[in-house]
Amino acid sequence: MDMITFEEAYRIVMNSVFETDNEIVPFTMSAGRILAEDIICEMEMPPFNRSAVDGYACHRKDLYDKMEVVEVIAAGQVPSKDVLKNQCSKIMTGAIVPDGCDIVFMVEESENLQNGKIRFTGIEPKLNISYKGEDVRTGDVVLKKTRFIKPQDIAIMASFGHIDVKVKKMPMVGVLSTGDELVEPSVVPDLSKIRNSNAYQLLSQVKRAGGEGMYYGIAPDDEEVTFALIRKAIDENDIVLLTGGVSMGDFDFVPSVLRRAEVKILFDRVNVQPGKPTTFGVHSKAVVFGLPGNPVSSFIQFETLIRPFICRMMGHNWNPGRQNLPIAKRYERKSSDRMGWVPVLITKNSEVKAVDFHGSAHLAALAEADGIIAIKTGTNIIEKGEIVSVRQI
Ligand code: AMP
Ligand code: MG
């Protein structure tokens, strides 16, 4: 099978998207999910002319006369007195402005006179009224479907009493590591072994992307065991992520096992650094990504291919945050025959620096990075001061 470009791989992956179903959840549980309905305003906001300050409500034409206070209106209370000429009502923030009053002057701009009378002492009167319906009108769409639900959206749902909300089901993502050299993090590795860091990083990435991860353990470099675990993971998930075993080593069984499990492989090499052996296949039950064992490679492949895929499965077009900033010093790479993803950090002066990176197993470099930049095939130098697009990770 031919090696393909990253753009081609992205296109193939995105063309294999199938959407998840909808489900109803309590609005309090919906932050971080993808909205599956338009939320329509069922009442005007504010629902009445509301005082924006603590002060006195009156008629503007009386502002420079002494005024008699007819009542005190607390927030949550309905006014009971008409405000007539040279009268006012003391009013609290959030309370209903009495009919006919067209200004509320602040307590700070008032003076108490004798006989309970009040005088405006300010210079430039402000109206200080939030008018009924000025924020949203009945029938307005306040939150559009496919959006990522933010804490601010929860406030909107609360204010409209939208207590049950339709969201997209989270894609189920099975994660399986392969390799005889791997032990679980709780185990002290013998010489020749390493701890499985990849699977736990991926499970956290799945969670951050809005998917629901499930761990299937470490498959030894044994074809039968790997086959059984892959079959089970395919049966139980929408997406299966395998790490390791996709290179050209003597014990890299993943491609042959995938074929045996009736996964149609759409690509098995991408012209990208790191991440060349990335494999992608489709099955009637799930799609399968075979990722390089190296944790930096698999991290980057997840962010650039799998995270957009998970979001699109929920109907959401995810855009990673980006910042366009200059490179702090000339960057050079040895070979330019692949597209590169370079982990970078942003300095205090808002300049971009490639992190000190010793190949795709260098976890500390990745942890230090604020983002990644893409460097095109055929380019091996970025000059100092050149603007690059830092993609947040
Ligand atoms: P592989 O893709 O199986 O050839 O593995 C490439 C490199 O990544 C090897 O050095 C492996 O030891 C390492 N590696 C493989 N799987 C993991 C994992 N789950 N966690 C950390 N390192 C891994
Ligand atoms: Mg391996």
Protein residue with its CA nearest to atom 14 in ligand 1? 293
Q: CB neighbours (10 Å) of residue 141?
A: 11
Average pLDDT over residues 75-81: 96
**How do the domains of the chain map onto residue ranges?**
6-20+170-313, 22-45+135-168, 50-130, 322-388
Q: What is the pLDDT of residue 361?
A: 67
Q: What is the pLDDT of residue 325?
A: 98
Band of pLDDT at residue 106, cut at 50, 70 and 90? very high
Whether 185 lines ligand 1, by a CB cut-off of 6 Å, is no
CATH number of 6-20+170-313: 3.40.980.10
Write out the DSSP string of 78-133: ---S---TTEEEEE-TTSBPPTT--EEEEGGGEEE-GGGEEEE--SS----EEPTT
Residue among 193, 243, 268, 300 whose CB has most ligand 1 atoms within 8 A, to mutate: 243
Protein residue with its CA nearest to atom 3 in ligand 1? 244
Q: Which helix (H) or strand (E) covers residue 309, if one does?
A: helix 307-313
Average pLDDT over residues 66-89: 97
Q: Which ligand is nearest to the CA of 290?
A: 1
Band of pLDDT at residue 218, cut at 50, 70 and 90? very high
- Report whether 245 contacts 226 (CB < 8 A): yes
CATH number of 22-45+135-168: 3.90.105.10
CA 157 to centroid of chain Cα atoms: 19
Fold of the CATH domain 322-388: Beta-clip (2.40.340)
Average pLDDT over residues 114-139: 93
Protein residue with its CA nearest to atom 6 in ligand 1? 293
Band of pLDDT at residue 250, cut at 50, 70 and 90? confident
Average pLDDT over residues 197-217: 97
Q: Looking at ligand 1, which atom is closest to the CA of residue 297?
A: 8
Report the candidate in 109, 86, 83, 84 with the shortest Cα–Cα distance to residue 96. 83
Band of pLDDT at residue 217, cut at 50, 70 and 90? very high
Protein residue with its CA nearest to atom 23 in ligand 1? 293
With a pLDDT cut of 90, the percent of the chain lying above it is 91
Q: What is the pLDDT of residue 14?
A: 98
pTM of the model: 0.90
Whether 198 lines ligand 1, by a CB cut-off of 6 Å, is yes
Across the chain, mean pLDDT equals 95
Residue among 184, 192, 194 whose CB has most ligand 1 atoms within 8 A, to mutate: 194
Q: Looking at ligand 1, which atom is closest to the CA of residue 218?
A: 19
Q: What is the pLDDT of residue 169?
A: 98
Give the list of residues 6+ apart from residue 70 with CB closer than 8 angstroms, or none. Answer: 81, 82, 83, 84, 87, 88, 89
Q: Is the peptide bond before 274 cis (omega within 30 degrees of 0)?
A: yes
Band of pLDDT at residue 116, cut at 50, 70 and 90? confident
Q: Which ligand is nearest to the CA of 181?
A: 1
Protein residue with its CA nearest to atom 15 in ligand 1? 293
**Distance from the alpha carbon of residue 224 to the mean position of ligand 2, in angstroms:** 15
Report the candidate in 139, 162, 140, 173 with the shortest Cα–Cα distance to residue 35. 162
Q: What is the pLDDT of residue 360?
A: 62
146-194 pLDDT tens trace: 999 999 999 999 999 999 999 999 999 999 999 999 999 999 999 999 9
Band of pLDDT at residue 248, cut at 50, 70 and 90? confident
44-64 pLDDT tens trace: 999 999 999 999 999 999 999
Q: Is the peptide bond before 343 cis (omega within 30 degrees of 0)?
A: no
Whether 243 lines ligand 1, by a CB cut-off of 6 Å, is yes
Band of pLDDT at residue 362, cut at 50, 70 and 90? confident
Protein residue with its CA nearest to atom 10 in ligand 1? 294
Half-sphere exposure (Cβ direction) of 264: Cα atoms closer than 13 Å: 8
Average pLDDT over residues 331-336: 93
Rg (CA), the chain: 30
Whether 290 lines ligand 1, by a CB cut-off of 6 Å, is no
Report the candidate in 89, 110, 87 with the shortest Cα–Cα distance to residue 98. 89
* Residue reference for tokens 């006369």: 65
**Distance from the alpha carbon of residue 4 to the mean position of ligand 1, in angstroms:** 23
Q: Which amino acid is at 341?
A: W
Q: First and final CA of the chain: distance in angstroms? A: 31
Q: What is the pLDDT of residue 42?
A: 86
Q: Check pLDDT > 70 for residue 144.
A: yes
Q: Which helix (H) or strand (E) covers residue 257, if one does?
A: helix 254-260
**Rounded Cα–Cα distance for residues 1 and 66 (Å):** 89
Report the candidate in 258, 343, 243, 252 with the shortest Cα–Cα distance to residue 294. 243
Q: What is the pLDDT of residue 319?
A: 94
Whether 275 lines ligand 1, by a CB cut-off of 6 Å, is no
- Report whether 260 contacts 288 (CB < 8 A): no
Structure tokens at 87: 């009268």
CATH C-level class of 50-130: mainly beta
Q: Check pLDDT > 80 for residue 359.
A: no
* Residue reference for tokens 């959006």: 147
